[in-house]
Each structure stands twice: as C-alpha cells, then as structure tokens.
Amino acid sequence: MVNTVLDFPGGKVVFSPEMRFLSESPSVYSQCYRVLDDTGQLISHSNFVPVSEEVAVKMYSNMVTLQTLDTIFYEAQRQGRISFYVTSIGEEAINIASAAALTSDDIVFPQYREPGVLLWRGFTLQEFANQCFGNKADYGKGRQMPIHYGSNKLNYFTVASTIATQIPHAVGAAYSLKMDKKDACAVTYFGDGGTSEGDFHAAMNFAAVTESPVIFICRNNGWAISTPTSDQFRSDGIAVRGQAYGVRSIRVDGNDALAMYSAVHSARHMAVNEHRPILIEAVTYRVGHHSTSDDSTKYRPANEIEWWRMARDPVTRFRKWIEINGWWGSEAESQLRSSIRSQLLHAIQIAERAEKPPVNDLFTDVYDNIPSNLREQEKLLKETINRHPKDYPADVPI
Amino acid sequence: MGFRNIIGRRLGLGLVRRRKPFSTATCDGDGNGNAKSINLYSAINQALHIALETDNRAFVFGEDVSFGGVFRCTTGLADRFGKARVFNTPLCEQGIVGFGIGLAAMGNRAIAEIQFADYIYPAFDQIVNEAAKFRYRSGNQFNCGGLTIRAPYGAVGHGGHYHSQSPEAFFCHVPGIKVVIPRSPRQAKGLLLSCIRDPNPVVFFEPKWLYRLAVEEVPEHDYMLPLSEAEVIRQGSDITLVGWGAQLSVMEQACNEAEKDGISCELIDLKTLLPWDKETVEASVRKTGRVLISHEAPVTGGFGAEISASIVERCFLRLEAPVARVCGLDTPFPLVFEPFYMPTKNKILDAIKATVNY
C-alpha cells in the first residue's frame, strides 16, 4: 500500500515522486485591474461599482483640493514658512477614491502619504495648516513635524514617521471591530518600501490567523526615497504575497479612481462580511520628491517624472470621465481651483499668526497624569527659562 | 511584612540543591476562607481570571497561552472565556505587541504575553516608538493605555543566555511606559491587576525563578496594589538596600546575616521601576546615610545606576559611603558560570559590611 496523501498537522499533503521546485516568479504576472483607460474612457466589458454624479464630483473636487493643498504647502516650505512637507502628487486617486469607498466608521491607520483620506472625511484646510505650523490649535499640540496629522473624531490615527509600524496596529483594531460586531473595518496604508519591514509580514500573518476585517492598501509608487522597487524586492510586486499568508489580494491601477473605488468597495464588503483581510496593491508613481528634504532628480530622470505628472495624471484622467458624463466643465474647474487656492492661502496666514502651544504641553500626555519626575523637571525648566530667556523661542508661551 | 512566608532559598546552597523546589502545589491552602497559599504562577493566573471576568473587553494572547502557557500562568482561561478572548498568536513578538497596541487603541485591555523576556527585543520598536509615544504624539487624541505586556525574566538556575535575562534597564529609559516587577505571589496578583487597569502601557516582568518556588497566602478576591510606590519591607537604621523581584529574597538573607553582626538593614522593594518612587528611597537614605542596590542584570548601565545617580544628587551630604551596587557581571548570562555571575547573598553581605565600615 502506497501512501499518496498524508495528514500533517497543517492539513492533507499530496505526495509526488517528481521533484519539482516552485518557480521564484509566476508564469504570468498578476493582472492589474483598471476600468478607465488613459484618456478617461470606460474600458468596455469592465466591471466596476457605479458611482453617482454627486459622489464622483465630490471625489474629483477632493482630488483637485489635495493637489492644490500640496502645491501651496510645498511652496510654503520652500519659503521657510513651514519646516517640512510631504506631497501626494500622483497618488490623488488612491487617496480620494479609497476614502470614498469606505465609511466614516472605518478606522484608518495611515503611513504619511494619505492626507486625502482625512480631507475626504472633513478635515479642514485650516486644520491641515494648524498642524503644519504646530500652533495652539494643532490637535497634536505641536509635538510632531508637519504632515503628522491625526483626528480621533474622523477615525484617522495620528501619522508617525516610523515605517510600517501602523500595519499590525490595524490588525488589532480590526479584531476589536470584529469582537464588537461593528459594521466597520480597519484600513491601513503603506508604500512599496514599507512592505519590506518585518511589521508588514507580522501583520499579514496575524490578520489571516485572527481572521480580522482589515484592508491593507499598498501604494506601490515605484520609489522608497531613492530606492527603486528593483532594489526593494524581487517578487512580482506586492499582491502576489497575499497568497503566501492566506490573504486574498488584488493589484489595481492606482491612478484609476474608478478602479480604486471599486476594489476598495469590494474589499470592504468581504472584510466586514467574511471577517477576512484583503490586500490591495495600488500601482502608481510618486510624482513628487520623497519630501522637501529630497531632490529626486538626483536619482531618476526628470523626463520620467514629467511624463507621469502629465500623461499619467490621475486627476486629469478622472476629470475626463466626469466631463464625458456631463458632470463637470471648465467653468466649474476654474472656480474650484481659485476658490481652493484662496482658502488655502488664508488658512496659512491664520495658522502662521496663531500662538504656539504653551511649554506646559511639553510635559503633558507622556502618561495620563504627570508623574513627579516630570513635575520636578517642569519646575526646573521654568527656572532656567527665567534665567536665560534668550535661549528660548519667543512664540512659545511659558 | 517580609519574606517569612516565601519558601524559596536560593543562595548559600550548591547549584543542585538550590534548584530543589519546596512547594509545587498550585493551591495547598489550609481552608482559610479568604486567602489561600499559592505559588506565583497561580497568583498571576488568578489575576488574569479576575481581569477577564471583570472586563469583557479584556483579552489574553501570546505564544502558547491557549493550553495554559509554558509556565502555566494562563491555565483555564481559554476554557472559561473562549478562544476569541484567549488565543495563541503566531511566533512573532513584534506582531504580538503591534497587534496588542491596535487592540488597546480601540479601548480594550490587551494583555500580551512574551514567552521569555529574552525574546522581547523584536517588539522593542513597537514598545519604544509606538506604545510609549502613542498618547503624546497624538496630542492625547489616542492612547494604548490598555496594553500590558507580561514576560518572565531572571535567572532560573540553568537558563543560560536566553532564558535568564533581566532586560528592565532598556525599558526604564523610555518615557511613556511603566515598568513593574513583583517580588512574590501576593504582590504579583495585586500589581498585575493594577497594571492591567492602569491607563498607560505597562511592561510587567515576572521572576520566573519564583513561579513554583514562592508560595504565599494570597487573598482570593479582586485587589490592586499601587504603582509607583516603593515599599519598605524591612525597617533598619544603618543601611538602605534597594531591589526588586526575585533578588529581594537574596537581599533579605543578607540582611538577616548582617543583623547577626549588629548591622541594621532597611530593605526597600521598588516594585515600579518606571516611574520610580524616589521619595521613599530618599527618605530611607536620609535616615541611614548608606545605600546598596542589587539586581541580576549586568552592572554597567543597569537600573542601579539611575538609582545611584538620583540618590547622590539628592542626598550627597547625608551619605556616609559611596553607593554600592551588587549586580550581575558585564557578560552574557552564562550557564556553568551562573553561580559566579550572580549577585549572591555573600557578595551583598560583603558589600554591606564594606559600606558600613567605609
């Protein structure tokens, strides 16, 4: 009697006398789901989740707002008005379309290139500006660098510079939602670089084993600062890793707002109703520099950047689609852009003039209450400030 | 209050005899209604049962916790509370803590177990950069205060490099978390319940040497002991000794012998290392004028250095002698050489005498 199948602890395993290694690369690269072609026309036989005129116009307006916000705040940093900034140019469709497909009860764990999700949920231009200037109205109390937004009201966990650390948090949060039987999921975003971190691996595995309703959205934008994906991994991108963990996955054209919307919408449905994690690889391009501390022309050709900025712009592509539907025109376009622009300039002015948080906020929130060692340090610091006031910035109230 | 009820004598005996357990009973109580004689792992087990029964949003998770855990601390929990609340995780410390942070951030009590403190380092980034800063960086919009990380620590007689470590000093350098170490079963139950219910992320190191060996009367009800309050467990007037966890029983033996030579020792259990109770230690040193700190962790950069520096800052003119530290050697924790590495009763006794005779 020959055993052809054996019951190992992990399940039945089929034997074979033929020694065959699994190939390191798939015979066919994972398909990339898209619905709108480069000219903004619907691809025939595409299946997608329909979007109403109201939602489509809101999506487009938010994409334009995000693009304008980025342009103006980047300039503000160049002018020395804020210390640092990170743009999301080229990734507006990922930001806005994914946000539009979620509900406000879904808990978001961002990396740092997803302010569009906050924008969609109602974070105001003034609130963005306040955080970037670290003024008294910043919910973060001036403790972190610009773009480290957070809003408990909008279910958007505070951005931290650490890469991929948020991914396992999202799994724990999703597990909590499952326990509470909420009609909600957790969503976490990260870049191609972030998938190399151990926390990505840990989170994917935990999500599968705990059967948690979490959506992993990877913005594969081709670059981790100066590191191209060929130096980042040798797998067929990110979506293919899902199977390795037992996680359902899809690769999507990240610059196609309709495809992003559909994929996230479907993912959410599966996550919440089937208690399963979903991995979405949104393929895109980081048009801007990594941050204001970077000049990406040092490591990639300027014409490549320009091509993606213009020919592959997700905002223009979606605009074409809504115009084809008769939902948008050039008048609406110029009105929107000038309105956003002046609101932004105004918000920056207000934020810049506002007072900074008081020095007390240096000591609060380390713990729920201030421990005695910090009270002592606060007292000593105040004495030092009195003795040497010139060592300290004048705009921070004592 | 002292160690009279703890039956666990480690030092002064040979390696083999030292390992002989005095009591392996989980519960050999004398029928006294409200308190039973139980060991450390049972006390911790009781605390966990109470934590889960009093808060239906409390969860216990980690490697092998489902069947009861490698030290039996989680016995009975999965059967009683179900596998949705008590469950095994994959073998991944960064995942255990990262997942725990997310769970806690949603308002749950996430009680994570790290199988040995020696394996906590993959989670160090999540603990230091995430858990410790979660509230502060968000401007108090978010917090993961419901997170408690438990890990067995310390020498066990045969543990070698990776089953014996005392990593508390690494964590004491991290504003935003608390570090708590119990010395006995009764302390452990009350302190663990406080840690679980404290609105800040806590790392709770359990002295594994005492899991079976330490037996004490532990009240059966739900009780909590305060954090950041050191306890004078033996009054004295000639020298102050400061320690935590399993080392205290060694220090107490040294105190007993010193007493025969007419030296009156005051012994303080720090209990919470971060934030630590400077006031109690300072008050004692003002009384005695001498201080000795003892811990198993290597002496260089150990938490004894922080205590020493703070005491010298505050009590310099009162001190009659340099601050003494009797600690582990600056080596990886050895196997065959464990008796040489350890801060033994006699090393402490020698240091007591040297300090008193300075």
The CATH number assigned to the domain holding B200 equals 3.40.50.970
Work out the percent of chain A whose per-residue pLDDT is above 70.
Answer: 99
A 89-118 near B (Cβ less than 8 A): 107, 109
Domain identity same for B210 and B74: yes
Domain-ending residue, one of B219, B244, B270: B219
DSSP, collapsed to helix, strand or coil, labels residue B10 as: coil
The shortest C-alpha distance from B249 to chain A (Å) reads 29
Q: Which CATH architecture has domain A53-353?
A: 3-Layer(aba) Sandwich (3.40)
Q: Is the ipTM of this complex over 0.95?
A: yes
| Contact A360/B at CB under 8 A | no
Nearest CA in chain A to B227: A371
Domain identity same for B7 and B121: yes
Q: Domain range holding B306?
A: 231-356
The shortest C-alpha distance from A307 to chain B (Å) reads 38
Interface contact A205-B92, CB threshold 8 A: yes
Domain-ending residue, one of B185, B219, B253: B219
Q: How far apart are the first and last CA of chain B?
A: 30
Across the interface, of B95, B133, B135, the residue whose CB is closest to A202 is: B95
The shortest C-alpha distance from B177 to chain A (Å) reads 8
Count of pairs with CB atoms under 8 A, one residue in A, one in B: 146
> What is the Cα gyration radius of chain B?
20
Q: What is the count of structural domains for chain B?
A: 2
| Contact A139/B at CB under 8 A | yes
Cβ contacts of B125 on chain A, cutoff 8 Å: 162, 165
In a domain, B104, yes or no: yes
A 302-341 near B (Cβ less than 8 A): none
The shortest C-alpha distance from B98 to chain A (Å) reads 5
Give A44's pLDDT tier (boundaries 50, 70, 90). Answer: very high
Interface contact B106-A177, CB threshold 8 A: yes
pLDDT given for residue A5 in this prediction: 86
Interface contact B99-A171, CB threshold 8 A: yes
Interface contact B135-A366, CB threshold 8 A: yes
The shortest C-alpha distance from B25 to chain A (Å) reads 34
Domain identity same for B236 and B144: no
Q: Which of B163, B206, B282, B306 is catalytic?
A: B163
Inform me whether the pLDDT recorded for A385 exceeds 80: yes
Give A4's pLDDT tier (boundaries 50, 70, 90). Answer: confident
| Contact A245/B at CB under 8 A | no
Average pLDDT over residues A279-284: 98
Domain identity same for B190 and B88: yes
| Contact A372/B at CB under 8 A | yes
Cβ contacts of B129 on chain A, cutoff 8 Å: 160, 162, 165
Interface contact A168-B95, CB threshold 8 A: yes
Interface contact B98-A199, CB threshold 8 A: yes
Greatest Cα pair distance in chain B? 60
Across the interface, of A150, A160, A168, the residue whose CB is closest to B102 is: A168
The shortest C-alpha distance from A151 to chain B (Å) reads 7
Cβ contacts of B98 on chain A, cutoff 8 Å: 165, 167-169, 171-172, 199, 202-203, 206
DSSP, collapsed to helix, strand or coil, labels residue A251 as: strand
Cβ contacts of A205 on chain B, cutoff 8 Å: 90, 92, 95
pLDDT given for residue A6 in this prediction: 86
Where does residue B316 rank: exposed (0-12), middle (13-18), buried (19+ CB within 10 A)?
Answer: exposed
Average pLDDT over residues A135-159: 98
Inform me whether the pLDDT recorded for A71 exceeds 70: yes
Interface contact B106-A176, CB threshold 8 A: yes
Q: Which of B63, B93, B266, B296 is catalytic?
A: B93
Domain identity same for B28 and B171: yes
In a domain, B225, yes or no: no
Tokens matching residue B260: 């025969």
Interface contact B90-A206, CB threshold 8 A: yes
| Contact A208/B at CB under 8 A | no
Residues of A catalogued as catalytic: 75, 161, 290-291
Per-residue pLDDT tens over the stretch A290-317 = 999 999 999 999 999 999 999 999 999 9
pLDDT given for residue B13 in this prediction: 34
> Residues B50, B112, A111, CA angle at the centre, nearest 5°?
135
Residues belonging to chain A: 398
> Residues B37, B41, B44, CA angle at the centre, nearest 5°?
90
Average pLDDT over residues A36-55: 96
pLDDT given for residue A3 in this prediction: 66
Measure CA A161 to chain center: 12
| Contact A157/B at CB under 8 A | yes
- What would the 3-class secondary structure string for B151-183 be? EEECCCCCCHHHCCCCCHHHHHCCCCCEEECCC
Interface contact A366-B176, CB threshold 8 A: yes
- The CA distance from A83 to B158, in Å, is 54
Domain identity same for B204 and B241: no
Tokens matching residue B254: 């040294």
| Contact A368/B at CB under 8 A | yes
- The CA distance from A303 to A344, in Å, is 30
Interface test with A, best of B103, B119, B278, B313 (most A CBs within 10 A): B103
Domain identity same for B265 and B126: no
Domain identity same for B326 and B213: no
pLDDT given for residue A123 in this prediction: 98
Domain identity same for B86 and B165: yes
pLDDT given for residue B187 in this prediction: 98
Interface test with A, best of B106, B130, B143, B282 (most A CBs within 10 A): B106
Domain identity same for B182 and B309: no
At B109, which helix (H) or strand (E)?
strand B109-113
| Contact A356/B at CB under 8 A | no
Q: What is the mean pLDDT of chain A?
A: 97
In a domain, B258, yes or no: yes
Query: In chain A, where are the structural domains located?
Result: 53-353, 359-388
Interface contact A172-B103, CB threshold 8 A: yes
In a domain, B259, yes or no: yes
Cβ contacts of B108 on chain A, cutoff 8 Å: 176, 179
Cβ contacts of B101 on chain A, cutoff 8 Å: 168-169, 172
Nearest CA in chain B to A363: B136
Domain-ending residue, one of B199, B219, B239: B219
In chain B, which residues have pLDDT < 70?
1-33
Inform me whether the pLDDT recorded for A238 exceeds 70: yes
Work out the percent of chain B whose per-residue pLDDT is above 70.
Answer: 91
Inform me whether the pLDDT recorded for A269 exceeds 90: yes
Interface contact B100-A176, CB threshold 8 A: no
pLDDT given for residue A2 in this prediction: 65
The shortest C-alpha distance from B95 to chain A (Å) reads 5
* Exposure string for A10-26, b = 16+ CB within 10 A, e = fewer: eeeeeeeeeeeeeeeee
Across the interface, of B90, B101, B139, the residue whose CB is closest to A365 is: B139
Cβ contacts of A162 on chain B, cutoff 8 Å: 125, 129-130
Q: At a CB cut-off of 8 Å and minimum separation 6, what does A154 contact?
A: A104, A118, A121, A122, A123
Interface test with A, best of B121, B126, B127, B137 (most A CBs within 10 A): B137
For chain A, strand residue ranges (E) read 5-8, 11-14, 32-33, 107-109, 186-191, 214-220, 223-224, 227-228, 248-253, 278-283
Interface contact A202-B108, CB threshold 8 A: no
Domain identity same for B280 and B198: no
- The CA distance from B22 to B4, in Å, is 14
Average pLDDT over residues A219-238: 98
In a domain, B224, yes or no: no
Q: What is the DSSP string of A193-229?
A: GGGGSHHHHHHHHHHHHHT--EEEEEEE-SEETTEEG
Query: What predicted TM-score, i.e. pTM, was given to this entire model?
Result: 0.95
Inform me whether the pLDDT recorded for A35 exceeds 80: yes
Give A1's pLDDT tier (boundaries 50, 70, 90). Answer: low
- The CA distance from A207 to B99, in Å, is 9
Cβ contacts of B200 on chain A, cutoff 8 Å: 367-368
Where does residue B273 rank: exposed (0-12), middle (13-18), buried (19+ CB within 10 A)?
Answer: buried
pLDDT given for residue A10 in this prediction: 86
pLDDT given for residue B20 in this prediction: 29
Domain identity same for B114 and B256: no
In a domain, B226, yes or no: no
pLDDT given for residue B31 in this prediction: 37
In a domain, B75, yes or no: yes
DSSP structural state of residue B132: G
DSSP structural state of residue A36: B
Can you give the CATH number for the domain in which B264 is found? Answer: 3.40.50.920
